[in-house]
Amino acid sequence: MKKHGAIFSKHDTPHLFKAILYPRVLQLNTLCIRMGMVVALWLFGYIPMQGQSAYERELWNTYNTAPDFPAKKTAFDKLEKFYRLFHLDSALVVCNQFRELAAQSQPDYVPFVDLRIAATYTRKLDLEKAGGILIPILEKAEQERNNSLRAGALLNLSNLNRAQKNYPMALQRGFEAAAIHEKLQDWRELCADYNAIASAYAPSRTDSNLLYLQKALAVSEQHQLPDVAGTVLNNIGVSFHIKGEMDKAISYYKRASVIDKKTDDRYGLCFALLNIGHAYRSQQKWTEAKPWFDEAMPVCESCGNLEGVGSVKMGLADIYESLGDYKSALAAQKKLSAIDQQLNQQAYGRATQTLEARYGSEKKERELSEQRAENYRQRVALFSLLAALAAALIFGYLFYNRFRLRKKAELDAAIIREQQLGLNAVIEAQEAERKRIAKDLHDGIAQELVALKLGFDALGRRIGKIAPEESARMEDLKNQLDSSCTEVRSIAHVMSPPMLEQHGLAPSLELLLRNTLQNVGLQADLYAHDLPEHLDEKIEIGLYRIAQELLNNVVKHANAARVMIELYAAGPELVLRVEDDGMGYNFEEARKRGSMGLLNILSRAGALGGAFVTESNVPHGTVALVRIPV
């Protein structure tokens, strides 16, 4: 029985991945190709919707039910990561589908999705397509001085150069990307840069590979990126594994497995558990290796990692054989060896025919030659038929899948329209109620308070003549009444600002800044430019309410000294930009907590067909952007 090693590294390109991990699988595939079975393997190995694992269905359900673009993006990251390791063609389908969504919801994110697509082509070793995507993105990023996009393009080009075995260029671009990401304080991407640099150093078998993996580990631990730390720990283990330092390798693999369990990174857990088992196996510590293979089996099965299952079978077969349990070894090897035995029998049959032809008569040789030619024609006809059938099935599946996706998109669009109509109705009803309450306050209570104030002034003058000693007390009561009148007017103006109807959005925002910030000592600036002459009333009210909520967040949470509001038109969009120099505000965490203020902002932006995004300001503070189509 042959013994095959396996080392699982999560940052290798596919050709390295398979060459290192699955030599027996590659041997079988080669024989299958020789025997003309490539059509069947292609037919049954590249249909992503058949035989979905529970984990895969869970990822799809999370993606399909995501309520908004940020949630959809988070779900896409996990789904793309799964297919990136499991099925590259499916990864391309998911990336292209999400790209269409990004083009509608957040166009400036589209180039970052293109980077994912290029990375997938790199893993497929379709380097021409990958380069055709990456070079224009790099040029665009340099023209627009978009450092984040430029660093992402450089990182992907580094991986492409590594696949081309152009290691000096891979290192140069990896170092450039790392310098930019470190300046941007994008620690997750910096870890990816260090991984790429380490991979470029790996063929030279120097300590530089391990040095940059250790750097990536330090950054991931310092900035609390456990999923990244799990990947890096596994790759450090691989480095020691290749060097033959098995005890160190096992230590890092075990640390990776603990983190992968905590972060529910099932595919990463497959790698870690299998690597531990194979490391013990290489030390011939059979009893220590078996529990890790046993633990790896259900994890690999749960996420559809068929190659991992095959690796477990090979490891267990060697363990059972070494322990003398030949029955279990045979059972573990049976599925893997069935195809191999069948092909060996066919090879034996061909050898027999060759011997008969060699030692037979010329007539026998001609008959055998004719028979072989006939067999060849039959095989060609058979494989042509299989290829045509496979092509018909694939085209039929693609047509059906396209039809299903179109119907699903139509249903999703209808649901979104219904939700949009409901949300618009709620917001319109809310604004109508605000106007009614403001009118009642202004025409009712406010007028009564004014009348009461006039009567109280007359009464105060009379009391001042009759009892001068009560004048001070009357003055205090008069001031309280004045404050009440002012408070009622302020509430009415907040509920439905008359400035918005009379003078428009920009003057109303200026008044809002003054009224909100005048008592808290904040410096406030408003810049309004390139605005359309007339704006829809719904847009004015929506942006006014969003600005109101953002200013309240600044006052309550930011501890800022300066606030700037910028209102301008950018092409077909109206942009509201609110920037402060405070300690920042984690909008994503607030969204997860269900903050009513943030939900109000998101619902109003969504009702207007726009988008709301935030980003950290350098060196501190927060920038909030609202884009509304006009």
- Specify the 3-state DSSP secondary structure of 157: helix
Most confident of 50-54, 107-111, 405-409, 547-551: 107-111
Rounded to the nearest 10 degrees, the angle between the axes of helix 471-495 and helix 362-440 is: 150
pLDDT band at 430 (very low <50, low <70, confident <90, very high): low
Contact 180, 150 (CB under 8 A): yes
The pLDDT, as a whole number, for residue 155 is: 94
The pLDDT, as a whole number, for residue 420 is: 59
What is the tens place of the pLDDT at every residue in 258-268? Answer: 998 998 888 78
Q: Which phi and psi angles does 441 have, rounded to 5°?
A: -65, -45
CATH says 500-629 is which class?
A: alpha beta
pLDDT band at 592 (very low <50, low <70, confident <90, very high): confident
Task: Tell me what the mean pLDDT of segment 377-393 comes to.
Answer: 88
Q: Which has the closest alpha carbon to 81: 46, 107, 49, 55?
A: 55
CA 228/CA 216 separation, integer angstroms:
8
Contact 329, 321 (CB under 8 A): yes
Write a three-state SS string for 160-173. HHHHCCCHHHHHHH
What is the tens place of the pLDDT at every residue in 217-254? Answer: 999 999 999 989 989 999 999 989 988 899 999 999 99
The pLDDT, as a whole number, for residue 31 is: 29
CA 205/CA 59 separation, integer angstroms:
38
State which amino acid sits at residue 129.
Answer: K
Task: Tell me what the mean pLDDT of segment 190-216 comes to.
Answer: 87
How far, in Å, are 24, 125, 208, 587 from residue 611 at the CA level? 51, 37, 44, 14
Contact 353, 374 (CB under 8 A): no
What is the tens place of the pLDDT at every residue in 26-42? Answer: 233 332 322 222 222 22
Q: Is 504 left (phi over 0), alpha (psi -120 to 50) or beta?
A: left
Task: Tell me what the mean pLDDT of segment 355-359 comes to.
Answer: 45
Q: Which residue has the higher pLDDT, 165 or 443?
A: 165
What is the tens place of the pLDDT at every residue in 557-584? Answer: 878 888 889 999 888 889 999 888 888 7
pLDDT band at 595 (very low <50, low <70, confident <90, very high): confident
Task: Tell me what the mean pLDDT of segment 388-410 comes to.
Answer: 87
User: Beta strand pairing status for 523-529 and 562-570?
Assistant: parallel
Q: Is the pLDDT of residue 16 over 80?
A: no
Of 104-118, 353-367, 451-465, the range with the lowest mean pLDDT is 353-367
Q: Which residue has the higher pLDDT, 493 or 309?
A: 309
CA 91/CA 120 separation, integer angstroms:
7
Q: Which residue has the higher pLDDT, 131 or 617?
A: 131
Rounded CA Rg of the chain: 35
Q: Which residue has the higher pLDDT, 37 or 352?
A: 352
pLDDT band at 58 (very low <50, low <70, confident <90, very high): confident
Mean pLDDT, rounded, of the chain: 77
The pLDDT, as a whole number, for residue 35 is: 29
Q: Which residue has the higher pLDDT, 515 or 348?
A: 515
Sign, CA torsion 133/138/143/145:
positive
Q: Where are the domains of the chain?
A: 1-47+225-344, 425-495, 500-629
The pLDDT, as a whole number, for residue 36 is: 29
The total of other beta-carbon atoms located within 10 Å of residue 445's CB is 16
Q: Is the pLDDT of residue 358 over 70?
A: no
CA 283/CA 367 separation, integer angstroms:
56
pLDDT band at 423 (very low <50, low <70, confident <90, very high): low
Topology (CATH level 3) of domain 1-47+225-344: 1.25.40
The pLDDT, as a whole number, for residue 178 is: 92
Q: Is the pLDDT of residue 468 over 70?
A: yes
Q: Across the beta sheet with 523-529, what order do the strands follow?
A: 523-529, 562-570, 573-580, 622-629, 611-616
What is the tens place of the pLDDT at every residue in 135-146? Answer: 999 999 999 999
The pLDDT, as a whole number, for residue 179 is: 94
What is the tens place of the pLDDT at every residue in 291-301? Answer: 998 898 888 87
Q: Is the pLDDT of residue 357 over 50?
A: no
Contacts of 347 (CB under 8 A, 6+ apart): none
What is the tens place of the pLDDT at every residue in 317-350? Answer: 888 888 888 777 777 677 655 434 443 443 344 3
